[in-house]
Structure 1
Amino acid sequence: MGICFGTAAQIDDTGAGQGFGSRIAVAPGHAQQGSKDANSGKLNDDSEVSVDGQPNLKSFTFDDLRHATKSFSSDGLIGEGGFGFVFKGWINEHNLAPSKPGSGMVVAVKKLKAHSFQGHREWLTELRFLGKLHHENLVKLIGYCSESENRLLVYEFMPKGSLENHLFKRGVQPMDWATRMQVAVDVARGLSFLHSLDANVIYRDLKPSNILIDSKFHAKLSDFGLARKGPTGDGSHVSTRVVGTLGYAAPEYLARGHLSPRSDVYSFGVVLLELLSGKRAQGDETIRGSLVDWAKPLIRDSRHFSRVMDTRLRGEYYKKSVQAVSFLALQCLNNDPQDRPSMSEVLFELQQIKPIKNLP
């Protein structure tokens, strides 16, 4: 996107499992809201949150979760990232007590690495948002553990893993076009809910590794560690530190730290391109440069449009459907955020597109 992050910018490790991925750290020259106070050692601004007052969530002990995950056995490791690990666990679906492996309800347990300040901050943020927000396209947070230096979160288990695996992992059966359309609608519905007046939340880290798939191939947003409240009143954006993931962050956010719901719309446009092409937003070996820079001119030129499409689909898609989705992606990727549609408008447009020709 033509933005230089400088030598201070760092990228975390990418996790292939449930709820972790590579991220941009604070870029030099941007306000570091929510940073650590040098005098008090506490979190400032909207990053500070108490674990008290979460009546909808179960407070687990560390021993509860140790038993639920077979002592955090490596056999149950389903994800790993810069700030911790995700393990498969089992709890009683009625009283949420730990149960024997293979019995009860399957859950995903995210365990933070000790002494990770950034990880602790994201743990608090995720606890605050997912403890209060409930929607069919958001992963359900069941409970948490805050005991001594241990910080854990317990989520519903998503058996089909992440969209990242379905799009990019070798040996995995590729999603057909109708399923990809379903995923796009589900993600748009989740983001539209977050951007609503009642929630007013900017997700800030949309990417395939944070989109999880349930047993019926419906998609849900996970990992709210970078989410924050949106602008209020007449404000068009909030100014904040630059965090997120290379290839998905909106240009105005990278350049000036201006964050708005339309920043999520840009990221959604990138994900639409990934659904169309089966190529990664950044670092795909089959193209030169970013996916956005590669795909835009091809979509605009009908003679070369077919080059954008994922060859693993083997042409089994309704041409008018994929063209409509690609043009919608271009609208989401406008450089000026004011020229992008809102997520509610995107959702409406997606719901009008027939994934296959013979649908009524």
Structure 2
Amino acid sequence: MGARCSKLSACWWPPHFKSPRLENGAAGEDGSGVPVFAEYSLDELRAATDGFAADRIVSEHGEKAPNVVYRGTLFSSGATVAIKRFGRSAWPDARQFVEEARAVGLLRSGRLSNLIGCCCEGGERLLVAEFMPHDTLAKHLFHWETKPLSWAMRVRAALYVAQALEYCTLKGRALYHDLHAYRVLFDVDGNPRLSCFGLMKNSRDGKSYSTNLAFTPPEYLKTGRVIPESVVYSFGTILLDLLSGKHIPPSHVSGNHLCIDIVDHQLYPSK
């Protein structure tokens, strides 16, 4: 299945990029333009998504996903945002959910799609983040239509994700849940950013990994807990994706396999 072609897909991408600062303060402090974290009402977010309409869904598995992500437009500011709506059984403790969201909402980095708000009303739990309009790294790597992602952009994606993880670690948020290529998003300038949604579990006591077991860190399989080493392992699987252009289980490239054997042949120089 091919990815939706973006206005950037023809050249993958312009040679000159705006270089966002690694760390930005909240809006009103240094002019970064990222809103201060806020709590939204359910009515606001329902209106922003046209009543959580199906045609507003942007998450990978659509309505079948346990936690659905919508594209929304905040009427108060006109800003386009990503709104993650958790399943009804997730995060039963409202206070814990809000505390976690507020902690993640303190982070401000040009390498993240920053969390700008949450909603906690009745049984509803929602997160609000900056919207990244140019799809995911997974779509551009695995489902491209006209031209593969260039080596320069693959290196940029690896660097930016590493910088995002380093920033989060320095800010006391070293654990990232379910890290994979679908968590890497492209912003309006074509720069890769790491989704802030992975900085919170999908539920208070739920699983931290939802991907195929072939890609799950061995430490998590043994203990059911995410530790910093789990994040390093998952980052390694993203590097494999970038190198190969395919979603290859780590076990398939161990032993006697050479790196050159898995390099994306679409990027070999033309003879």
When the two structures are superposed, what TM-score results if normalisation uses the length of structure 1? 0.55
- 1:216 alignment partner in structure 2: 189
Q: How many residues were matched structurally? A: 229
Instruction: Note the 1:301-320 alignment, pairs <5 A.
Output: 305-315=259-269
Aligned partners of 2:251 and 2:230: how far apart in 1? 17
Q: Is 1:164 equivalent to 2:143 in the alignment?
A: no
Q: Is 1:131 equivalent to 2:98 in the alignment?
A: no
Which SS does the other structure have where 1:202 is aligned? coil
Structure 1 residues 83 and 106 mapped into 2: Cα distance closer, same or farther (>3 Å)?
same
Q: Is 1:76 equivalent to 2:59 in the alignment?
A: no
- 2:220 alignment partner in structure 1: 253
Aligned partners of 2:142 and 2:95: how far apart in 1? 30
Which SS does the other structure have where 2:70 is aligned? strand
Q: Is 1:66 equivalent to 2:66 in the alignment?
A: no
Instruction: Note the 1:277-296 alignment, pairs <5 A.
Output: 277-281=244-248, 291-296=249-254
Which SS does the other structure have where 1:153 is aligned? strand
Q: 1:274 aligns with which of 229, 238, 241?
A: 241
Q: 1:85 aligns with which of 56, 64, 68?
A: 68
Aligned partners of 1:194 and 1:107: how far apart in 2? 21
Which SS does the other structure have where 1:113 is aligned? coil
Which SS does the other structure have where 2:116 is aligned? strand
Structure 1 residues 129 and 206 mapped into 2: Cα distance closer, same or farther (>3 Å)?
farther
What is the deviation of 1:215?
2.3
What is the deviation of 1:124?
5.1
What is the deviation of 1:176?
0.7
What is the deviation of 1:308?
0.6
What is the deviation of 1:172?
6.5
Aligned partners of 1:142 and 1:62: how far apart in 2? 15
Which SS does the other structure have where 1:252 is aligned? helix
The higher-RCO structure (CA 8 Å, 6+ apart) is: 2
Structure 1 residues 258 and 74 mapped into 2: Cα distance closer, same or farther (>3 Å)?
closer
Structure 1 residues 276 and 120 mapped into 2: Cα distance closer, same or farther (>3 Å)?
farther
What is the deviation of 1:275?
0.4
Unaligned runs of 5+ in 2: 4-34
Q: Is 1:225 equivalent to 2:208 in the alignment?
A: no
Which SS does the other structure have where 2:160 is aligned? helix
Which SS does the other structure have where 2:229 is aligned? helix
Aligned partners of 2:137 and 2:99: how far apart in 1? 23
Aligned partners of 2:244 and 2:96: how far apart in 1? 31
What is the deviation of 1:207?
0.6
> Which letter maps to 2:141?
L
Aligned partners of 2:151 and 2:44: how far apart in 1? 42
When the two structures are superposed, what TM-score results if normalisation uses the length of structure 2? 0.72
Q: What percentage of residue pairs aligned between the two structures are identical?
A: 33
- 1:186 alignment partner in structure 2: 160
- 2:16 alignment partner in structure 1: none
Structure 1 range deviating more: 75-84 or 159-168: 75-84
The answer (yes or no) to whether the contact 1:112–1:120 under 8 Å persists in 2 is: no
What is the CA deviation profile of residues 114-156 of structure 1, one whole-angstrom value per residue up to 9, with x for unaligned ones? 3445898995575144222222212111111112222221111
Instruction: Note the 1:135-154 alignment, pairs <5 A.
Output: 135-154=109-128
> Which letter maps to 2:263?
M
What is the deviation of 1:91?
2.2
Unaligned runs of 5+ in 1: 1-15, 17-54, 99-103, 228-239, 282-290, 317-360
Aligned partners of 1:308 and 1:164: how far apart in 2? 17
Aligned partners of 2:45 and 2:237: how far apart in 1? 37
> Which letter maps to 2:260?
S
Aligned partners of 2:86 and 2:267: how far apart in 1? 38
Superposed CA RMSD: 3.3
- 1:203 alignment partner in structure 2: 176
Instruction: Note the 1:5-44 alignment, pairs <5 A.
Output: none
Aligned partners of 1:253 and 1:241: how far apart in 2? 13
Q: Report the structure number with the largest CA radius of gyration.
A: 1
Aligned partners of 1:121 and 1:177: how far apart in 2? 45
Aligned partners of 1:167 and 1:119: how far apart in 2? 38
The answer (yes or no) to whether the contact 1:298–1:307 under 8 Å persists in 2 is: no
Aligned partners of 2:51 and 2:225: how far apart in 1? 43
